[in-house]
Chains A and B, each alone.
Chain A
């Protein structure tokens, strides 16, 4: 059984009123345990609405969402679903509740009514995984944006979820904070946590093994980032763009430089160009090869 199974999911806000807005319009998706999935799409494509269905913050207007086999529409399952799927939101300042880092992380497990030794263990382990153990007695409001987001992630990890959903969790961070959060979620994924990362940053999506593109509440593309990024014109229609490195690689190919296809990464492009440059040593000046 897959961790998340979505069948023909529809969601309409203000259904049955003149303000009704269709946000999700028939989504079917399967996400297996241990996957690392990026979800991208233009503003208003339904990304956040979809995310909120994964831990029963929103319920389907039509269709169904199953998490670890549990139907999210079943009121009796709500808490079990939320223990399995944790959410991290955009603004770190809205997600921290306590005045000391370790108390913030302990908030969830305390509410589970766990014995205090177990809580202490979970808090320590979670802070260690996100690299914030040294800050356990610090005040959250004095941390940097990236550190706050990592504490927010630790708070969710302390609930031992199977799946972490990040809804634009890197959008408000500076470059270092973005890197810290990306490294943290890659580490968690390697340890077995399923990660669903919603982002507008195409460079971040390029780092994920699977990329889902939403448009008008439907799945427009679903596959490897290299395949998604090979459809530049389709992406453009969906209000997205290629990240700079694949954009440059495809431009150079169009110019006639034999750069291999399916390049996403700066290092790969640099080696490809470097070997082309060496090959040409001693061949004298060559034409630009344009068609």
Chain B
């Protein structure tokens, strides 16, 4: 069984009231350990509702969700184990910082697990290093004296210190300046590549998705509208446009070139690939 497995998952908010809203309708999806999945879709398409099922913050109205073999549609499911394995980083996680020092903030989760002091120390230092924050220089500072990008990284370290198998991030780069964005996304890529973490990334940026993920799941109106390898998804530009999404700027350039009769590959994702494709077309046309 896959690490995360949803079968016919439906979620209805405020069922039986005049405010009833169907957020997910019949989502079937499986995510294998060690993959990097991009979750895309317009506002209100059900992305946030879906990821909250992955660590049992929400339970299915109908259908099933299994995480690491635990059936979360069962009321008595072992939620604690699931929450330890799936770390959720919400939008603007720095709003949830609260301790007096960076160290204490990151240590909050591990302390609640009742770990030994030494183990806590190791985990905090490790987690801070993973997000590029020097534990010696920053550990004793107040989290509120940090820059926006640093606060964001400390908040993510707090989730990493729980040593989850799966990291789910909702727009981790929103509101950061262009370099802050690149730094944080680079660190997430490193976590995936070097620690083998399974990563699920919600983003509105097609460029971010193209840079990072292996597979894209597109949500629309509570359903999975598209699901496949990143290159294949960005070949379907018209379908993406019909649900209000687009393709990365570089992919869009290739499509414009093809419309002008230049025979470049359409499924280009990065600047490097575009460079090669353009040289080839200019040489051989």
Binding site for B on A (CB under 8 A): 41-45, 90, 144-146, 168, 171-178, 200, 202-203, 236, 239-241, 243-245, 247-248, 251-252, 255, 257, 266-267, 269-271, 273-274, 276-278, 280-281, 285-286, 288
Contact = CB atoms under 8 A, between A and B. Distances in A.
A2 B246 CA distance: 39
B68 interface: no
Contact of B283 (A44, A176, A286): A286
A252 B244 contact: no
B282 A176 contact: no
B262 interface: yes
A225 B151 CA distance: 31
Contact of A277 (B41, B207, B282): B282
A200 B176 contact: yes
Nearest to A21: B145
B18 interface: no
A252 B275 contact: yes
B257 interface: yes
Interface residues of B, number: 43
A261 to B, nearest CB: 17
Among A145, A146, A266, chain B packs the most CB atoms within 10 A around the CB of A266
B55 to A, nearest CB: 23
Nearest to B261: A274
B127 interface: no
Contacts of B281: 273, 277
Interface string B219-252: 0000000000000000000000000111011101
B43 A174 contact: yes
A251 B180 CA distance: 23
B179 A243 contact: no
Interface string B241-285: 000111011101100110111100000000100110011011111
A245 B284 CA distance: 23
A156 B261 CA distance: 46
A211 B147 CA distance: 24
Contacts of B285: 277-278, 280-281
A175 B56 CA distance: 29
A176 B262 CA distance: 28
Interface string B155-196: 000000000000000000011111111100000000000000
B34 interface: no
Contacts of A43: 147-149, 176-177, 180
Given A175-B244, A244-B271, A274-B257, A280 B282 contact: yes
Contacts of A248: 250, 253, 271, 274-275
B33 interface: no
Given A244-B271, A273-B262, A239 B249 contact: no
Given A270-B259, A273-B278, 10 more contacts: A43-B176, A43-B177, A144-B44, A202-B178, A241-B178, A244-B207, A257-B279, A266-B253, A274-B261, A280-B285
Among B178, B252, B261, chain A packs the most CB atoms within 10 A around the CB of B178
Contacts of A266: 249, 252-253, 256
A42 B182 CA distance: 13
Nearest to B274: A248
A202 B178 CA distance: 8
Contacts of A145: 43
B141 interface: no
A184 to B, nearest CB: 16
Contact of B245 (A175, A240, A271, A281): A175
